[in-house]
Structure 1
């Protein structure tokens, strides 16, 4: 129900203002994989702004100073033996669980004829296998909890298209898209919505590294690749991590309750299907 006094209070206190009011996640608990940097960090910050409590899983060491609503685990998300334990610890610490954001991802660049088996395996493990591991563990808990929930997978426009030098990455993100659809079908009866977000070119450390490596493979410098990237975006700029986080917040909120099995493009118009 619309509460004008609450909205005015939130507008005065939070930088997100009205958005924080309509996307209020107070009392909700989320797990975010790969939440220490880039898109993941932006997602964590957005969840906190909207009132959620967040468990962050990342390979990076815990920051010295943590927000009071963050529970931090330094861990390899592809290790199946630790997943259920960290889900249990999150529930024990916060008292419940409502949201999973499978964000962690890596890339490896090479021509198909030169892809190394170890690179292929690592990309598929981090980008696809981890989605299966964490989704399975969280879904089992959400079903037991009996109050529905939201699972959001960070895929990519590479989950819908093919891109040179990114064979393993493209394969992994297509896997994420397929698994998202299967989960959406199977978990719908439990009121668990499962959707994917498909970012385009996002300004992160990983993207900057890709420009260097891709440029070397193509005989170009990183700046030339950056200009090429921008030229492909109809809106005239590449994305900020916050552009992706905004869409994730919508998918975690009650306003997406009738959406499931979708791959939402956040590409500035690069991908329109």
Structure 2
């Protein structure tokens, strides 16, 4: 579909499952060389298939991030496109949210996304290369949701970083955008339904039915729904877009 993505080097954080895994598969399908970064992988930059690589990465650790970007650059070349899909969530009402829960969400979702983008962008600037940065935020970056204080705050922060880096990097030909997924069927969403249902006195099945009822298109989303937008933002067609938070919510969020 996007011939220009063939041969491009793409780093996807959180690529082992959920939205990240869907994005990895989508770029591989376009012929890109894709590095999937995740804490669940073995140490080192390892080839999985011809154009598919893995690297173990804790996005909260700046030294580890800098080393990973350096390893990729030395072995494969400069990263053309970054997609930051590594993320986590905890549930709890604001008055019950602990400092540890707050720190976890902000460290992984906001700080982690920023650190990887910082080091990828720095290499692009140093080498006078253009590129694409795609943050995975959430419709929780635009709205408030009961029982998700720390997660909502972290995803709002991602949109702030998106706008600021887009402004700073525009003159370098580097676009920076965010995708704001709605209710996407992933292992994390399934866990949230169990934990959120327990807080609200509902079963996971009841929460899932409530989820579907809130989506104008009548269904929840899939990682592939998000991956298609990531491909577009990485493509030449999106060359005049930067600083945007694109909703992929089935109409649940429209602003």
TM value normalised by structure 2: 0.96
CA distance in 2: counterparts of 1:70 and 1:78, whole angstroms: 24
Taking the TM superposition and a 5 Å limit, the aligned residue runs for 1:104-183 are 104-183=86-165
CA distance in 2: counterparts of 1:187 and 1:142, whole angstroms: 10
1:76-111 Cα shifts (integer Å, max 9, x gaps)? 111111111110111111122211111100000001
2:252 is equivalent to residue 270 of structure 1: yes
2:193 is equivalent to residue 211 of structure 1: yes
Instruction: Return the match for 1:39 from 7, 19, 22.
Output: 19
1:154-207 Cα shifts (integer Å, max 9, x gaps)? 000000000000000000000000110000000000000000000000000000
Q: Which residue of 2 aligns with 1:237?
A: 219
Q: Could you list the runs of 5+ residues in structure 2 that have no partner in the other structure?
A: none
1:59-83 Cα shifts (integer Å, max 9, x gaps)? 1135x98222122111211111111
2:3 is equivalent to residue 28 of structure 1: no
CA distance in 2: counterparts of 1:223 and 1:34, whole angstroms: 26
* Contact 2:177 2:233 (C-alpha < 8 Å) held by counterparts: yes
Q: Which residue of 2 aligns with 1:257?
A: 239
**Paired residue secondary structure (2:5):** coil
Q: Which residue of 2 aligns with 1:82?
A: 64
Instruction: Return the match for 2:35 from 55, 63, 86.
Output: 55
Aligned-residue offset at 1:56? 1.5
CA distance in 1: counterparts of 2:139 and 2:38, whole angstroms: 23
Aligned-residue offset at 1:23? 4.7
CA distance in 2: counterparts of 1:39 and 1:30, whole angstroms: 15
Instruction: Return the match for 1:224 from 206, 209, 218.
Output: 206
* Contact 1:212 1:222 (C-alpha < 8 Å) held by counterparts: yes
CA distance in 2: counterparts of 1:212 and 1:107, whole angstroms: 13
**Paired residue secondary structure (2:145):** coil
Change in 2 beyond 3 A, CA 1:111/1:183: same
2:54 is equivalent to residue 69 of structure 1: no
RMSD between superposed Cα atoms in Å: 1.4
Structure with the greater alpha carbon radius of gyration: 1
